[in-house]
Chains A and B, each alone.
Chain A
Amino acid sequence: MTALDFICLAPFLLLASAPIIIMLTITITRNIKVVYGFSLLMFLLSFISLFIVAPYIPHVIAPLFIIDSYSLLFLAIIIFAGFLITILSYIYISQQGDDKEEYFIILFVAALGASVLVVANHFISFFLGLETLSISLYILVAYIKTRSYSIEAGVKFLVIASVASAFLLFGMGLIYTATGSMNFKGVASALGSLHALSPILLTGFVMLLVGIGFKLALVPFHMWLPDVYQGAPAPVTALIATISKGAVLAIALRFFMDIQGFNNQAIFIALSAIAIISMFTGNLLALNQGNLKRMLAYSSIAHFGYLLITLLAGSTEGIHSAIFYIASYIITTLGAFGIISLLSVCSGNADSIDDYKGLFYKNPFMAIVMSLAMLSLAGIPLTAGFIAKFYLVLAGVKSGLWLLAFSLVINSVISLYYYLRVVTTMFTTSDQVKPSTIPLMGNLVLVVIVIGILFLGILPAWVSDIIASLS
């Protein structure tokens, strides 16, 4: 370990030290406010540390990590989302029973796991990052243990995630057996010497795909998602939807690009089929869904179906559009779950779409943010979602993926139906006009999200230029 290594690991060290310091403060006094303030500070510090790291990239810490501009960008997204989720979590969790402080420890471990995934280029760091993330998520999902549905979601998540990681591990094992390397580049160079993928490697890749597909909730590995979304506390759902999925997408992109997976016809066809089926399944399931969290879960299945297009495009443009898409998806999803979580705090449960009836008359700001989030998810112009979809289609079309682009367009139309249903629900009048107020910090989060959605939608050039400058 050199000094440079330590500098480049600064964000990770900060994220890793946070749980330990929180534990120490808990031994002194159990004060949630202290923990909360400290958590915000640590996320802020680790965000700042990214700028310290920036001059030294790309830096490889052999053999586990590679810190390049690409991973730095994902790190920024993750830490930013982590910061907002911390605020939402505090507002949400401070209403709950005892032992609230541990929540933040686990939150940091989850963020650490996700960050490791982003820089991993080795099976060991891949697996450990994934599991660090998963285990923290089991805990967070079931964190409010007095709720039976939280526990149910936790058990389901744990069992299926474990199965998926068993598959993932077995797949890694097979690839290791066939290539003798666990490093992505090593695997890629071993593949380069083969003219065709041997069946054992294909089997390995399919099993690896289970692990990734599970986390991204692609059909047919998607079944857990709605149940977990519904059962988990709203901020945790936001965490799953944003940080977890973003990090897994990052490593999937890296692995896929390293091994040039799109060049293999079998993998290409299989992934295309998964993408198209995911789009249709997600959107069809969302159509009649009365539970908003479940609806968003189904819509997320469809969105990650769209995102597979970037993988299959196999071009730098594909990667750039993927980063833009995930950034806009994360900010938009945070908006939606932010509203759900804030509303759950101030008026009990806010899962059902019916709970949003007349929201516009109770709290116009929240209703506008929610509408904006829905419009962005649907891909209406001047929101982040539109630009993201536009880049996506462009990348797909440039690589000649007409079928995929076509089904994306069809599915966008289908999805419009249920997104707009939420919007119209909020604007229908309801008899009970009890104004609901939210804490100041909650409003702040929403303002940041609104700015984010509109910024990406109106001035996408700024962000897309940054993305395009990545090598």
Chain B
Amino acid sequence: MNTIFYIAGAIALLSSILAITNRNAIHALLYLILSLLSISVIFYILGAPFIAALEVIVYAGAIMVLFIFVVMMLNIGLEEELENKWLKPRMWILPSIIAAILLANLIYALRVLEHQTVTPQIIQPKQIGISLFTTYLLAVELSAILLLAGIIGAYHIGKQKKKIIHRFLKK
């Protein structure tokens, strides 16, 4: 099992790196989906099968598809030269340094957890469901309102006024 964790983890990291470095948006999104899928594997072996499923369905399925739609709507597959212009190698230096320091801090901070291992405990979807609809019921209601706002907002902001001009009026 540990081997699976390491393999899936490596794939996730690698495909994430590829996703953020790729110049083609569609390719990048595909890498990202790969990364999400391997994270879903990790969820599964961590004893969270329900979350693993959600990761695939919602993240890799719904959210990423949304991205792909937008990318296609904007046709930015053609803008690879632009990306070349935007992405200069030296731009990676400062962010990487910052990230490295942060990583060092994180490693230092996580040393306290060195000898703790996860107790193998599978949490069934039923348990989550009970928890969601009893303890956290109000949070679920709240997230419904939140989604409502998201939908209305996306609708309002995304809506473009169609300019329909009759062909006779076109110049």
A residues with a Cβ closer than 8 A to B are 1, 9, 16, 19-20, 23, 61-65, 99, 102, 105-106, 109, 112-113, 116, 124-125, 128-129, 131-132, 135-136, 138-139, 142-143, 145, 154, 174, 177-178, 198-200, 202-203
Contact = CB atoms under 8 A, between A and B. Distances in A.
B111 A116 contact: no
Interface string B122-141: 00000000000001111101
A139 B106 CA distance: 34
Given A64-B136, A128-B143, A132-B145, A139 B152 contact: yes
A464 to B, nearest CB: 33
B128 to A, nearest CB: 13
A16 B135 CA distance: 19
Interface in B123-170: 135-139, 141-143, 145-146, 148-150, 152-153, 156-157, 159
A131 B145 CA distance: 11
B149 A105 contact: yes
Contact of A64 (B138, B149, B153): B138
A99 B139 contact: no
B112 A200 contact: yes
Contact of A198 (B106, B112, B143, B145): B112
A135 B150 contact: yes
Contacts of B2: none
Q: Determine the main DSSP class of B at the interface with A.
A: helix
Contacts of B150: 135
B136 A106 contact: no
B156 A139 contact: yes
Interface of B: 105-106, 108-113, 135-139, 141-143, 145-146, 148-150, 152-153, 156-157, 159
The 9 closest A-B pairs by CB, nearest first: A139-B153, A199-B109, A109-B149, A203-B109, A132-B146, A200-B109, A198-B112, A128-B142, A136-B149
A110 B2 CA distance: 45
Given A128-B139, A200-B109, A203-B109, A138 B146 contact: no
A203 B111 CA distance: 12
A9 B145 CA distance: 15
A102 B156 contact: yes
Contact of B110 (A23, A142, A145, A200): A200
Contact of A139 (B108, B135, B157): B157
Contacts of A199: 108-112
Nearest to B108: A199
Contacts of A113: 146
B115 to A, nearest CB: 14
A399 B152 CA distance: 48
A135 B146 contact: yes
7 contacts: A9-B138, A106-B153, A116-B142, A135-B146, A135-B153, A145-B157, A203-B105
A157 B159 CA distance: 20
A47 to B, nearest CB: 20
B153 A202 contact: no
A27 to B, nearest CB: 13
B156 A99 contact: yes
Contacts of A112: 142, 145
A106 B149 contact: yes
A255 B60 CA distance: 35
B146 A109 contact: yes
B132 to A, nearest CB: 11
Given A139-B157, A200-B110, A203-B109, A1 B149 contact: no
Contacts of B142: 16, 112, 116, 125, 128-129, 132
Contacts of B143: 128
A202 B139 CA distance: 27
B137 to A, nearest CB: 7
Contacts of A128: 139, 142-143, 146
